Amino acid sequence: MQSLNTCETDVYLADDLRSDLAEMIKPYKDEKVFVLTDGTTRRLCFPLIEDVPGIDRNRVIEIAPGDDAKDTDALIYVWAALVEGGATRHSLLVNLGGGMPCDLGGFAAATFKRGIDFINIPTTLLAQVDASVGGKTGINFKGYKNEIGSFKQAKYVLVDTSLLRSLDGPNLKSGFAEMIKHALLVKGDLLNRTIAFDILNPDMAILAGLVAESIRIKDDIVSDDPYEKGIRKALNLGHTAGHAIESLALKRGKPVLHGYAVAYGIVVELYLAWKKLGFSEELLRLLSEYIYKIFGRFEISKGDYTYLYDAMTHDKKNSSGRINFTLLREPGDIAIDTHCEREEVIEALEFYRQSYI
């Protein structure tokens, strides 16, 4: 396996998933190794590791798929399964799945017996470049995304891009949105190379290289600010508006994939960047049209503006009752904690709504 030489978490690109995982869990076999997965990933991916020494199908904890299942009920179910399975403070939890099992499993591990080790094996593109790296864990609560959580670094993250071959188009694109975000956070040609990549007909060898670059960008930022006191807030580009859109979708009973919501949120927040910080209008238009082409649209009406704005007030980056955005002066020139007035946010939502009519 190849180390990505990241700072905060030991992230490895797998050469052989079975043998690499066997090496990682060898120190834990006497203390019981548990695997957390959802129904979809258990069917598609667990067979790839079930014969690894130390993995026992009787210690597989299966939860329902989908981000709307990332709640207190699922968390309690995982805790109970660990207790009933005889887990100790020295046990290991392997989170096999997309962003939801990595988020929830990380939080379960962070809180069980005041913290046990866990390994993330992300099986979706979104999880490989985002959810599995960086130490954020959590669950949704009262209709709000990741309202409850903690910081807890995985012992290891094992990335196998061959697992992405089982993904459908929407889930590939969902992860690609986070790669676009990461590319916006650095100077150079990565943004051009990213949006030139054909995610609809991906070359997996090229994608693996882009994934590695994306992980390094996130880890570099996290290593400078592991507890999100400063520059780590850069990673929230697109997320203040995006989480609000996700909440609205859940309220409608029609959830959208996280990356899609982030992509739509990027449009809203790049408009704010243009309005307040002089971000290029040409690039704003180009990226907006690109996002609508790849991700389609999430339809909102003027009647949704109040709900969306109120949802943004729950964002964890806010302070003193002020909504704070991560905005850009240009790609790689980041302005965290940029306050926007309600009228400016509504104007940005109107741009989003009108720009695809």
Coil, helix or strand at residue 73:
helix
Helices (H), 141-280: 169-184, 190-196, 204-224, 239-252, 258-277
DSSP class of residue 160 equals -
Q: Using H for helix, E for strand and C for coil, what is the string for 283-329?
A: HHHHHHHHHHHHHCCCCCCHHHHHHHHHHHCCCCCCECCECEEEEEE
pLDDT at residue 255, rounded to an integer: 87
Which ranges of the chain have pLDDT less than 70? 1-9, 131-132, 225-229, 316-321, 356-357
Locate the domains of the chain by residue range: 2-163, 170-354
pLDDT at residue 228, rounded to an integer: 64
213-228 residue pLDDT tens? 998 888 888 777 666 6
Residue type, 50: E
Q: Compute the CA torsion angle 85, 88, 94, 95 (nearest 10 deg).
A: 80
Contact 42, 18 (CB under 8 A): no
pLDDT at residue 189, rounded to an integer: 94
pLDDT at residue 357, rounded to an integer: 45
Fold entry, domain 170-354: Dehydroquinate synthase-like, alpha domain (1.20.1090)
Coil, helix or strand at residue 88:
coil
Output the CATH code of domain 2-163: 3.40.50.1970
| Tally of residues, the chain | 357
Residue type, 63: I
C-alpha distances in angstroms, 337 versus 22, 93, 225, 236? 43, 35, 15, 10
Contact 162, 41 (CB under 8 A): no
Beta-bridge mates of residue 334: 328
Q: Tell how far CA 269 is from the center of its chain.
A: 18
Rounded Cα distance between 6 and 182, Å, is: 15
Rounded Cα distance between 135 and 107, Å, is: 10
Coil, helix or strand at residue 81:
helix
**Global pTM?**
0.83
Residues 6+ apart with CB under 8 A from 312: 240, 241, 243, 244, 323, 345
Determine the longest span between alpha carbons in the chain, in angstroms: 60
C-alpha distances in angstroms, 126 versus 172, 173, 179, 211? 8, 8, 8, 10
Residues 6+ apart with CB under 8 A from 236: 315, 317, 326
Q: Tokens at residue 60, please?
A: 């597989």
C-alpha distances in angstroms, 249 versus 69, 292, 357? 14, 17, 19
pLDDT at residue 2, rounded to an integer: 67
pLDDT at residue 60, rounded to an integer: 94
Coil, helix or strand at residue 274:
helix
- 49 dihedral zone (left: phi>0; alpha: psi -120 to 50; beta): alpha
